[in-house]
Amino acid sequence: MRKFSQGGVLAVLVWVLAIIPGGAIRADSTLASSVSANPHPTASPREHRIPTNPKRERTGEAPSPSGAAPTTPLISIIVDDLGHLRVAGLQAIDLPGNLSFSFIPNAPYARALADVARARGKEILLHIPMESRDGRDLGPGGLTKEMTRAELTESVCASIRAIPYARGLSNHMGSLLTRRKEPMRWLMAAMLECGPGNNSQENGQENGKGLYFVDSLTTGGTVAAATARTYHIPTLERDVFLDHDPDPEAILAGLRQLVRKAKEQGTALGIAHPYPETLAVLGRVLPQLEGWGVVLVPVSVLLANR
């Protein structure tokens, strides 16, 4: 009796498979295709992707009530004053990550170094010398309070033509000039007149967007950023000078302050210089920023997320 039952069960199974043609084969082939179909898909290009919160992804926390994916705090770091020292400039450009670089347009190595940085996909700014309260020498292309509007406009436009693919403009020094409304109005008008949004094909800019402005905040009395906004120019203000004190421990403290501000505000902008101590500290810290809970992005990306 036991033998008959087992045979009967076997017969039933054969009968079921017979009335469902290809059923078992179809199931097996579906499983096989799900495993073998592109097991290592090609990742889509990442152009300054703003990642979701890595801690939340690891721990499986529930999404925020609004449904919007939280984002990691963003920082940008501009390396200023480039163009006078060739070796230091190359060392800065060699640093890892999405640093942005600001070149004094008429400095002897400015265009050559900017070309190298551009070829490596770095974001470029013009760093325009402006009159300071202590009367320091500005060099060629500097803007002063004695200039007429025509003189200032021509100087700014010449600087833009010197490095035509720059994305933004910032002030080098300027503790006197950035306090004055009229020269700042002339500056912003010149940026609109000669910037890439006006003649992008002629000046070599890859996109038709206009220049943004970064106020380095070299004085508490600056009107530069406020003036730029009245001209509808995208504008940022510096949050932290990373190497006002060039001691390595002070630079490290400046970086930690920048990260704290980014976590408080969502974004933060730091300015550094091509000092040997600064380059050494950045070389050590930049690869660790993800572990610090922030993402380093170009200035234009920071602007878009403020």
Half-sphere exposure of 152 (CA within 13 A, CB side): 21
Q: What share of the chain in percent tops pLDDT 90?
A: 71
| Range in 56-65, 128-137, 152-161, 215-224 with the lowest mean pLDDT | 56-65
| Range in 69-78, 156-165, 214-223, 281-290 with the lowest mean pLDDT | 69-78
Instruction: Report how many helices (DSSP H) and strands (DSSP E) the chain contains, helices first.
Output: 12, 9
Q: What residues does 240 pair with on adjacent strands? A: 270
Does residue 54 lie in a domain region? Answer: no
- Greatest Cα pair distance, the chain, in angstroms, is 115
Does residue 62 lie in a domain region? Answer: no
pLDDT at 306: 86
Does residue 211 lie in a domain region? Answer: yes
Does residue 148 lie in a domain region? Answer: yes
Does residue 84 lie in a domain region? Answer: no
Both tokens assigned to 22: 């290809």
pLDDT band (50, 70, 90) for residue 71: confident
Does residue 78 lie in a domain region? Answer: no
Name the residue type at position 5: S
pLDDT band (50, 70, 90) for residue 197: low
Task: Domain count for the chain, please give it.
Answer: 1
CATH number at residue 299: 3.20.20.370
pLDDT band (50, 70, 90) for residue 198: low
Q: State mean pLDDT over 282-305.
A: 97
Domain that holds residue 210: 97-304
Q: What is the pTM of this model?
A: 0.76
Does residue 43 lie in a domain region? Answer: no
Half-sphere exposure of 263 (CA within 13 A, CB side): 12
Does residue 92 lie in a domain region? Answer: no
Q: State mean pLDDT over 263-269.
A: 98
Q: How many whole angstroms separate alpha carbon 303 and alpha carbon 81?
A: 21
Q: State mean pLDDT over 4-19.
A: 41
Higher pLDDT residue, 246 or 209? 246
